[in-house]
Chain A
Amino acid sequence: MQALSLSFLRSRRLTIEVRQKIHLVPRIAIIVGAVLFGLGICIAILVSRDVDVASIYDEFIVFTFLNAYGVSTVVVHSTPLVLVGLAAAMAFRVNYWNIGIEGQLFMGVIGCTVIAYYDIGPEFLRLPLMFIFSLLFGALWALPSALLKLRLNINEVISTLLLNYIAYYIVLNQVFGPWRDPKDNFPHSPAYDDFERLPKVGWEDVHYGIVGVALAFAFVWWVIERSRFGIQSRFVSANPRMVVAIGLPLSVITLISALSSGALAGMAGFTIAAATEGRLTFQLAGGYGFSGIVIAFLSGNRPLIVVVVAFLMGGLYVAGESMKVFYSLPDALVGLFQAIIVLSVTASEFFARYRLRMAHYERV
């Protein structure tokens, strides 16, 4: 028992005890309570910005989840979110903090724009090629940090983050330089041709990216929950020393996880570029890196829950975007709300792990 520094009364102190076990119901109750607490703070922030409660309800619930068009836009927004969530989960499961999802996403878009811009391959192969190149470029951008971590023990948080900035400036260089659209002279690449774009499924703006997402989810789910690799990688987060002791290839597991994380991030970029934007723009990765981290954290790196959380996060994106337009709120609003919810949930884990108790001591 460690006495907290709250010893305001000498004979009675607040002490912390480890809970031997916690049942599922109170645990879920604590997490839900924490999310609601975080959302409460977010609502308070909006109210303080003169947004009335009725329109918050409208924006976040009615226009997003309770009507068909709203749900379709949420699905469109959550397509890349599921992928970045899976990307983060892949890496975090093996204690590899891939903060470079945004950069890998950008490189994925560069990969598929290379194919589209230089018209590589016949028309019917164009889209598959773009897809493969986005995966490849995403994975390649994840490679240096993974190697540096494994070879030189360089903190991957910093190296992946630095590569984000480098990827961003590469994108800026391309869209302000060689790839600038000659039609309107705006800093973005020329629009992809029709056959270079993901077709729509026929429900509002929902595109075939969701099929790709479904396949990616199925694959990741199988890898994490069913495959031998998944079991081995579970050991890595539980006890890396044991992994080495029983002769599992720790660095191979980490490397594969990091590369698949990058490939999934690149694929997220592909769905944004080939479906939603239809070109390379320098704003298209905004916030997806942190969103991936948030989704993976809130879902405990479980693929199935990633999908659910990403869908809800899609709602936050949709509502946040219209909030920004109608109430002139900052661009960083969604990130701020995500940060508040993460802090609230991560703090709540304390109450799931420990029990606070008033202990009585004899005065000495």
Chain B
Amino acid sequence: MEFLTHWLAFTPVFALPLIVASLGLIVNERAGLLNLGAEGIMLCGALVGVAAFLEFDGNAALGFIFAILTGTFLGFCFGFFVVVLRTNQVLTGITFVFLGAGLTGLIGIPWVNKAFSAIDPIHIPYLTGIPVIGRFFFGQDFIVYITIGLSILVWRFLYHTRTGLRMRAVGENPQAADAAGINVGGYRLLAASIGGAFIGLAGGYLSLVVAKIFVLDMTQGRGWIAVALVIFSRWRPWRAVLGGLLFGGIEALIPRLQATGVPIPQYFLAMAPYAVTLVVLIYAAVQIRAGQDAPRALGVPYVREDRK
């Protein structure tokens, strides 16, 4: 019973970086941008978040703000390369991963491996004390509740605003969008920046809340898992939340299982998130006809002069 309570209580913490990053990636991909650099942008967000937190005497809000700004900037840079300079999206994305790893290694030295005390979860009297589900629903930190708001916001934005509609149009059929007078490049740059902001926040949360420390390469493939999660979620925000909780649950399970002494070799446990991601990708591909829900111009550059 205690096992279940703990597991449920920690699931949102592990799920959150994945959910936030995949929300950002959904915004990216809905506009037709395949940002494979999420892993690198997350890492930069994680570093800058911790750096700001430590430099401003433990101001968590400033830490998150700086993580978001870093993500926005890097997302914009990615957008600039693929939209304005028309570079290959896959290559540019992969390169951003290594750019992020290299930059954090280079400038992160003063802040690496410096542990700090946790940001306290909220305690609501009585509610948090409800057995099993109390801590899951009411015992989280403020960013978890902000994330719930954010996912509703992303959904509202994409499906219920004019800007969101145009952004999706740019990702579905840029030729038609262009003909309708929509600035394709502008919307894609906007999407890249918004997406980057989310990814940066995910990174900041990872270092500031989940790990309470910045370690080199600490994202450990979470950026890639988020990319896979977007496919699993069929580019829908609310499904990304569910998928994120599923993955977070698995990740939260690993330390619990180790604590109970289940005889599974630790490296096979560590492998689990990646193996599960692969299985989920296969499941998603078998379930729905592959690519059916993907934005039709995903990863396809729009160059008006190249029109056939």
Residues of A within 8 A of B (CB): 1-2, 4-5, 16-18, 45, 49, 97, 99, 148, 152-155, 157-159, 161-163, 165-166, 169-170, 172-173, 176-177, 290, 293, 297, 329-333, 335-340, 342-343, 346-347, 349-350, 353-354
Task: For A354, list chain B residues within 8 Å (CB).
Answer: 305
The A/B interface has a contact count, at CB < 8 Å, of 143
Assess whether A155 is in contact with B231, with CB atoms less than 8 Å apart: yes
Residues of B within 8 A of A (CB): 36, 81, 84-88, 90-92, 94-96, 98-99, 101-106, 108-109, 183, 185-186, 216, 220-221, 224, 227-228, 231, 265, 267-268, 270-271, 274-275, 277-278, 281-282, 285-286, 290-291, 303-306
Assess whether B267 is in contact with A290, with CB atoms less than 8 Å apart: no
Assess whether A162 is in contact with B278, with CB atoms less than 8 Å apart: yes
Assess whether B91 is in contact with A297, with CB atoms less than 8 Å apart: yes
Assess whether B36 is in contact with A157, with CB atoms less than 8 Å apart: yes
B213 to chain A, nearest CB (A): 17
Assess whether B285 is in contact with A154, with CB atoms less than 8 Å apart: yes
B interface SS class:
helix
Known interface pairs A18-B305, A99-B94, A333-B102; A176-B267 also in contact (CB < 8 Å): yes
Task: For A173, list chain B residues within 8 Å (CB).
Answer: 265, 267-268
Known interface pairs A152-B285, A158-B281, A177-B265; A346-B224 also in contact (CB < 8 Å): no
A interface SS class:
helix
B115 to chain A, nearest CB (A): 20
Task: For A349, list chain B residues within 8 Å (CB).
Answer: 87
Query: Looking at the complex, which one of A169, A293, A329, A340 makes contact with B99 (CB distance below 8 Å)?
Result: A340
Query: Looking at the complex, which one of A49, A169, A333, A337 makes contact with B267 (CB distance below 8 Å)?
Result: A169
Kindly state the separation between the CA atoms of A17 and B81 in the bound complex, as whole angstroms.
18
Assess whether A331 is in contact with B183, with CB atoms less than 8 Å apart: no
Assess whether A290 is in contact with B94, with CB atoms less than 8 Å apart: yes
Task: For B103, list chain A residues within 8 Å (CB).
Answer: 336
Assess whether B290 is in contact with A152, with CB atoms less than 8 Å apart: yes
Which A residue sits closest to B93, measured CB to CB? Answer: A157
Query: Looking at the complex, which one of A153, A176, A177, A337 makes contact with B285 (CB distance below 8 Å)?
Result: A153
Assess whether B81 is in contact with A347, with CB atoms less than 8 Å apart: yes
A38 to chain B, nearest CB (A): 11
Assess whether A5 is in contact with B185, with CB atoms less than 8 Å apart: yes
Assess whether B102 is in contact with A330, with CB atoms less than 8 Å apart: yes
B79 to chain A, nearest CB (A): 12
Task: For B265, list chain A residues within 8 Å (CB).
Answer: 173, 177
Kindly state the separation between the CA atoms of A290 and B99 in the bound complex, as whole angstroms.
11
Task: For A340, list chain B residues within 8 Å (CB).
Answer: 99
Assess whether B268 is in contact with A2, with CB atoms less than 8 Å apart: no
Assess whether B102 is in contact with A339, with CB atoms less than 8 Å apart: yes
Kindly state the separation between the CA atoms of A97 and B89 in the bound complex, as whole angstroms.
12
Known interface pairs A18-B305, A339-B95; A158-B227 also in contact (CB < 8 Å): yes
Task: For B291, list chain A residues within 8 Å (CB).
Answer: 153
B82 to chain A, nearest CB (A): 10
Task: For B94, list chain A residues within 8 Å (CB).
Answer: 99, 157, 290, 293
Assess whether A338 is in contact with B281, with CB atoms less than 8 Å apart: no
Cβ contacts A to B, 11 pairs, < 8 Å: A2-B185, A2-B303, A16-B305, A153-B291, A163-B278, A169-B274, A293-B94, A335-B98, A339-B99, A343-B81, A347-B87
Assess whether B101 is in contact with A166, with CB atoms less than 8 Å apart: no
Task: For B88, list chain A residues within 8 Å (CB).
Answer: 346
Which A residue sits closest to B230, measured CB to CB? Answer: A158
Which A residue sits closest to B101, measured CB to CB? Answer: A332
Known interface pairs A153-B285, A155-B231; A333-B271 also in contact (CB < 8 Å): no
